[in-house]
Amino acid sequence: MATVAANPFSDGRTDEKRATGFTLVIFGVTGDLTRKKLVPALFSLCAHSFLDRFSIVGFARRAWTDDEFRSEARSMLSSPETGNPAEAEALNSFLARLGYLSSSFDDPKGYENLLAVLSAGAASGRKTILYYLSTPPESYQTIIERIGAIRGRLPPGVDERIVIEKPFGRGGESARALDLFIHRFFTEDRIYRIDHYLGKDTVQNILAFRFGNGLFEPIWNSRFIDRIEITVAETAGVGTRGGYYESAGALRDMIQNHLFQLLALTAMEPPNDLAAESIRAEKQKVFRAIQPFDRNRLSSDTVRAQYSAGTIDGVAVPGYREEKGVAPESPTETYVALKVMVNSWRWAGTPFYLRVGKRLPRRMSEIAVYFRKPPLGIFPGPGAAENVLVFRIQPDDGFSLSVNTKIPGFSAALRPALMDFSYGSGFADAPRDAYERLILDALLGDPSLYTSSGEVEACWDVIDPILASWEAGTPALRSYPAGSAGPEAARDLVAREGRRWRKL
């Protein structure tokens, strides 16, 4: 197997990596994630020669044959340009590596068939086995137990890992129970808990920006930073995922994982090095420093809301309760705003405002860092505005910094000028999809961009009191029309402190 850089940031590009000799088993392969993310990512990795000597086994209930799976996979990929034989060849060679096992997740016979496929693969040199659980969380334990029952009969020398999709548990207690269960079968170093935000180049760039430049770190603290705003806004609604979303809601679906990871990368202390354990330990310290959401703060510092019918880009869209798979009286939140305080020496006194929502007016994920104004206003007019550093996670990946600048002419008045960097124009190569990076890393045994059990549990410990209070009805669920910037209560959460959210 090719050598792997020990950390995600050391090589700048992933091009030197190549995973060789593996079988990837995707449980729940007939689902949405395979169509939208896994198959396109795997094909792209294969077409760019990052994968070698491998096979992919789809495992799900539907009664597909190998050929049916291949033609489904074909429909998940864009067509090769007409007349481009190299592309057609890459596509055919990828599809030829796909196989399918039709079985329910609890049928031992299905796993006997899987054992035969994995054993034959190992005999032909495919010694790495990656189990990818892309199923509803209710099936995790059954699948893991059944895998556990066949593992002892795999040929010696195989190297197994398991990837688990979020949400990992429904709260601290169930996450701990799930961990205990999985640890009966897999050691921690074999467990890859995926948070696809960590696979995004723009997210990895937060650490590169902070610790790869001497300029910002000395002022990266509450003495110089007034507040930090983290936004993940989507125009999409729940689409076909109403069933799943009803049991998750935005707090479990996005805040506990993606937004908390963004917060941790922004707030963490410099790690000693870029090894997985060093980064994970520093992130976990941030989660442990978050001021608990006690009873007094739940009403003032948390907002939950649900979208009602409205208009997005001129098109009328239904309210959440009218979506497929959603209960007509559903209390599930599709929008969350929180004021998070990190009680560490570095951050005491600087609030982190988090907001996330579906059916907002535009798709935008960013982190805005507001620096304090100069202590003395000596310039005429409105004077110096706050300097704002914005990490644009997506779209238009990049970052910008606003700097007050003298307006040309006879006055000394200022106006903010924007220093802007875009990945699109700054580098020749487009960023790779997060799933490409993460799948490749799991195949190569590099967990740096996956989350540890300690991190997941620390996040739940923050979230649990919010969930309990919301379930008991405090604060009340608000409503916002699809296409609006969210509920008034979110505006009030920051307005109370003399602040305004960035425009969506």
- Kindly list the residues in this chain that would bind ligand BG6 in the complex (CB under 6 A): 234, 253, 365
Ranked by CB distance to ligand BG6, the top (closest) residue is 253
Smallest separation, CB 158 to ligand BG6 (Å): 30
Q: Residue 43: what are its φ and ψ, rounded to 5°?
A: -65, -45
Task: Decide the pairing of beta strands 128-133 and 98-102.
Answer: unpaired
Kindly state the smallest distance separating residue 432's Cβ from ligand BG6, in Å: 13
Q: How many residues does the chain have?
A: 504
Nearer to ligand BG6, 98 or 459 (CB): 459
Nearer CB in complex with ligand BG6: 201/282: 201
Residue with tokens 């007019």: 381
Closest CA to 99 of 181, 29, 37: 29
Gap between the Cα atoms of 191 and 135, Å rounded: 16
Give the nearer residue to ligand BG6 in terms of CB position, either 199 or 319. 199
Shortest spacing between CB 30 and ligand BG6, in angstroms: 18
- Minimum Å gap between C-beta 322 and ligand BG6 is 18
**What is the C-alpha to C-alpha distance for residues 370 and 372, in angstroms, rounded to an integer?**
7
Class of residue 329 by CB neighbours under 10 A (exposed 0-12, middle 13-18, buried 19+):
exposed
Rounded Cα–Cα distance for residues 198 and 210 (Å) = 16
Nearest to 43 by CA among 73, 65, 68: 73
Kindly tell me which of 72 and 253 has the beta carbon lying closer to ligand BG6. Answer: 253
**Closest to ligand BG6 by CB, 146 or 437:** 437
Count of other CB atoms within 10 angstroms of residue 2: 11
Task: Return the bridge partners of 26, or none.
Answer: 58, 132
363 near 392, Cβ under 8 Å? no
Q: Name the nearest CA neighbour of 140 among 186, 97, 105, 90.
A: 105
Minimum distance from residue 169 beta carbon to ligand BG6 (Å)? 15
Sign of CA dihedral 185, 187, 190, 192: positive
Q: Find out whether 386 and 373 touch, Cβ atoms under 8 Å.
A: yes
Shortest distance in whole angstroms from residue 431 CB to ligand BG6:
12
Distance of alpha carbon 430 from alpha carbon 377, whole angstroms? 43
CB of 372 to ligand BG6, least distance (A): 30
Q: Tally Cβ neighbours within 10 Å of residue 223.
A: 11
Helix (H, G, I), strand (E, B) or coil at 355: strand
Cα separation of 165 and 208, whole Å? 26
Distances (CA, A) of 357 to 179, 250, 333, 369, 483: 29, 7, 9, 20, 11
Residue with smaller CB distance to ligand BG6, 181 or 244: 244
Is 147 or 233 the residue whose CB approaches ligand BG6 more closely? Answer: 233
- What distance in Å separates the CA atoms of residue 28 and residue 6, rounded to the nearest whole number? 31
48, 183, 196, 258: which one is catalytic?
258
196 is catalytic: no
Nearer Cβ to ligand BG6, position 99 or 167?
Answer: 167
Q: Supply the minimum distance, in Å, between the C-beta of residue 251 and ligand BG6.
A: 12
Nearest to 129 by CA among 109, 141, 112, 147: 147
How far, in Å, are 18, 48, 157, 360 from residue 445 at the CA level?
12, 20, 15, 38
Q: Which is nearer to ligand BG6, 200 or 339 (CB)?
A: 200
Least spacing, CB of residue 330 vs ligand BG6, in Å: 16
Active-site positions read 258
